[in-house]
Structure 1
Amino acid sequence: MGAGAMTICHNQAAVLVKEDMKKMVQIPMLRSRAVAAKNTKIFGVSLLELRERGLVEDGVPLVVQRMVEHLSKHALHQEGLFRVNGSVRAVETLKLRLESGDDEDLFSESDLCTVSSLLKRYLRDLPEGLVNLTVQQKLIQHYQDSGDAVSWWVIKDLLHQLPDVHHSLLRYLCNFLTLVERNHKENRMTAHNLATVFGPSVFKLT
């Protein structure tokens, strides 16, 4: 093998070594990015931020859709739905697994009380509440001024003052709770009971 051939082989080997070294350096960076992507905070994050991060579909957070779809399929006939709470530890564990990006069928591994409690917690943890303070105060004022003559058209107009993503989630939630109420003879969750349970989760009372 001539000197020229040796030089070419040496240069090629050097290039391969450099490429291998580059890959070795990049591996930890890629792993750290993957871990960061999986450990994504979902609870206690504004709806607008979740939408910017691509975690909202049709105006509804994906995590809420997953919980509601599971409960709609398995829990509509469960007596005490939303009134019987899951254990604090189980709820926290499920929350952390969702935020870690665990793709397993987490809800099938959890009891229904845990999933329903987590849904309430999600709503309660929204930074400004699902219905923000400004709209909340206007709703209260309307009730105080109207007495028994509450106008549902006025209420509808006030709710439309919410940010669009809040309004979409509220509408989605109300549709689901209407479905729950239709089965109240079995689950014992009348409209009054649902309002009592979800009021603190939907409104910021501070």
Structure 2
Amino acid sequence: MFSSGLHQFFQTLPERMGAGALAICQSKAAVRLKEDMKKIVAVPLSEEKNPTCKKLFGVSLQELQRQGLMENGVPTVVWSLVEYLTLHGLTQEGLFRVNGNVKVVDRLRQQFESGARVELQELGDVCAAASLLKLFLRELPEGVIPSALHPRFIQLFKDGRCDAQEHSLRDLIRELPDTHYCLLKYLCQFLTKVAKHHLQNRMNVHNLATVFGPNFFQ
């Protein structure tokens, strides 16, 4: 089920992302866009951060695991956001395309990193939660798919679309580090649910690939 859903997701990348995710990640335009997005989201803080806070963003998955900041095999912040979006955001029109308020997103980030209890349901802001999830993925040092495997993922879908692709993809994802494999599986299962509500949220597999492709391949 996982490999089948992943196969469908990755099949859309070449047609929705031009020369492919690898080319996008290497292009100067993509680098500029990535830096601009970071500037938009990163709001200067007037107060010093609590030195006891644990950094969650921009930290490798292996380091998060070492610090015990995982839940069911995925980063705690990802788990919290996805569970909230699953309950309250699947039918939200423009999910992942409509950005949340910058200040609200930054406040959420601070709350997660401070270790405080984050009440997403009380906030009731689906767009902010979705934006924070994208920000977390965008700031992963190695991305969801490690850069060493980028060429092989892209080449797999340049070779043509045949029944053997899904089997080859299954073999390839087995080479992912455990932390990356668990995160990729969890996200693809979630995005499959999002796509099933595409009539309401306007986010079919093609649109999701457009949004998440650059976040998976950095």
SS at match of 1:42: coil
The AA in structure 2 aligned to 1:161 is E
**Distance between the aligned counterparts of 1:85 and 1:166, measured in 2?**
26
SS at match of 1:156: helix
- Are 1:147 and 2:160 matched, yes or no? yes
Q: Residues 50-65 of structure 1 correspond to what in structure 2 (within 5 A)?
A: 50-65=64-79
What corresponds to 2:14 in structure 1?
Answer: none
**Distance between the aligned counterparts of 1:84 and 1:91, measured in 2?**
13
Q: How many residues align?
A: 168
Q: Give the percent of matched residue pairs that are identical in Structure 1 and Structure 2.
A: 48
**Bigger Rg, which one:** 1
**Distance between the aligned counterparts of 2:165 and 2:200, measured in 1?**
32
- Are 1:49 and 2:67 matched, yes or no? no
**Distance between the aligned counterparts of 1:169 and 1:56, measured in 2?**
10
Unaligned runs of 5+ in 1: 1-34
Per-residue CA shift, 1:10-42, capped at 9, x if unaligned? xxxxxxxxxxxxxxxxxxxxxxxxx544x1100
The AA in structure 2 aligned to 1:147 is G
Cα contact 2:104–2:128 (8 A) shared by 1: yes
SS at match of 1:151: helix
What corresponds to 1:71 in structure 2?
Answer: 85
**Distance between the aligned counterparts of 1:142 and 1:76, measured in 2?**
31
**Distance between the aligned counterparts of 1:67 and 1:112, measured in 2?**
9
TM-score scaled by length of structure 2: 0.73
SS at match of 1:148: coil
- Are 1:93 and 2:95 matched, yes or no? no
TM-score scaled by length of structure 1: 0.77
Q: Residues 159-174 of structure 1 correspond to what in structure 2 (within 5 A)?
A: 159-174=173-188
Unaligned runs of 5+ in 2: 1-49
Following superposition, the deviation at residue 52 of structure 1 comes to 0.6
Following superposition, the deviation at residue 110 of structure 1 comes to 4.8
Greater RCO, 1 or 2 (C-alpha within 8 Å, sep 6+): 2
